[in-house]
Chains A and B, each alone.
Chain A
């Protein structure tokens, strides 16, 4: 049972970036960037080093306020929302260098994925209120399941800081999965991974999409980019091409600007 292919036009846009521009001092990093991500699709973002991909992620997730332009999530302008508010509304990102919580166990890392979905306050936790205890227990059980699914259950009690790079990525991904985001932004999740590990990653990205998470994927790995329904090419802060990966590969402008340079 394969779902009918959705075209960008008919599907609801989970993310709609319009006319975003940003500068750092005199350095123009983004200019009039328009990017859309329809529900449950995997949208790629490629571009040479320094072209502004991470900056765009920072703007979408609220770490940086853009100089101009709007970011809409589920049709609503999020300009006024804090990082945390966006996260509670289902926006989640990973980082170019994996940011796991080094001094926490793998299980605790994955439990953190539930933070936005849980609510026990400081006092309830301190006094071990039944509600807080129940919530913690169910968070733990659910996180343990996720660990099993991602094949890291045997590491549940290991400190995340002691893991090799590949496994840290898996922990980050499992944590993201635990958060069940509506929109997941992955910033170069394939860097530092081996060939087989990238294949597993591709599988997981598909799982996210099949479970209804829209994915925005940044990667320098062109092979991985094949998972994308549509790919945007960013070059010196401008989107110079948008389309399926096959078309992007043949695009002369992209060849000149990006693939030729690589």
Chain B
């Protein structure tokens, strides 16, 4: 394999890693706010991407507002999921496995719904900054990739600022750490959870919109995105957005190595394997999931 192909695979792996990081950050946002691992996070991305495509192509909305509509769709979906399903289950104090079944069921439903409404086609968005490419290390990188990385970094920074400085962000963080304490301090815990889901949905949708120009979106890609985002998030420690970027890089580069070393069919296997190994080898690692033993 020539160096050009090597770098081509590597650099597209690195680009993808920011998409996984964004999905992972969305997952982390929701986990932080609700202690639920949202197995339909990838679906937010697919919905965001497809809504943007339709706004742009079927309804002729200009690019930027179309993207905003896509993001709003993700946020709205998060809102609906929380109000219709998560709230009653929280009230019932449902267990972890119930939330998992719920979000898996929603992922399945949304994926099937997309199949019904938009079919099996893959939808491509035009790249931000056109369809130009830039040569780098003998490889050709779409201009859009730079935008993708840049926007992802900005989102990471904005989230960080939001959670550290804004009142809403602080309240959302407080809710997750100590819901009862937050409630006694006059924070509307239920509402904060809804905000959390909306924010997670928006971040997920953004990931979908950013990835659509590179690999296109289809009804079927949600679950794989969820798993890779989850891998990125746990690698980086679920609470930490910058960690998710590092985690995303590990996944993206593992995929690239699988593409280079074996074949592109093994890309997902590499990502999933890394994820499983990380969970086993660093069970409480950066995550700090080490619960108290005994009584």
Contact = CB atoms under 8 A, between A and B. Distances in A.
Q: Are A and B co-members of a single complex?
A: yes
Interface string B268-295: 0000000000000000000000000111
A64 interface: yes
20 contacts: A54-B294, A54-B295, A55-B294, A57-B294, A57-B295, A58-B293, A58-B294, A58-B295, A61-B294, A63-B293, A63-B294, A64-B293, A64-B294, A93-B295, A95-B294, A95-B295, A96-B295, A97-B295, A99-B295, A187-B295
A187 B294 CA distance: 11
Contacts of A93: 295
Interface of B: 293-295
Given A58-B293, A96-B295, 13 more contacts: A54-B295, A55-B294, A57-B294, A57-B295, A58-B294, A58-B295, A61-B294, A63-B293, A64-B293, A93-B295, A95-B294, A97-B295, A99-B295
Interface string A54-68: 110110010110000
Interface in A89-103: 93, 95-97, 99
Contacts of A61: 294
A57 B293 CA distance: 11
Contacts of B293: 58, 63-64
A146 to B, nearest CB: 23
A61 B294 CA distance: 9
Contacts of B294: 54-55, 57-58, 61, 63-64, 95
A134 B24 CA distance: 53
Contacts of A99: 295
B71 to A, nearest CB: 41
Contacts of B295: 54, 57-58, 93, 95-97, 99, 187
Contacts of A96: 295
A187 to B, nearest CB: 6
Interface in A8-26: none
Nearest to B295: A95
A1 B295 CA distance: 39
A164 to B, nearest CB: 19
B289 to A, nearest CB: 16
A57 B294 CA distance: 9
A45 to B, nearest CB: 15
A63 B294 CA distance: 6
A209 B293 CA distance: 28
Nearest to A98: B295
A58 B293 CA distance: 8
A8 B72 CA distance: 74
A63 B295 CA distance: 9
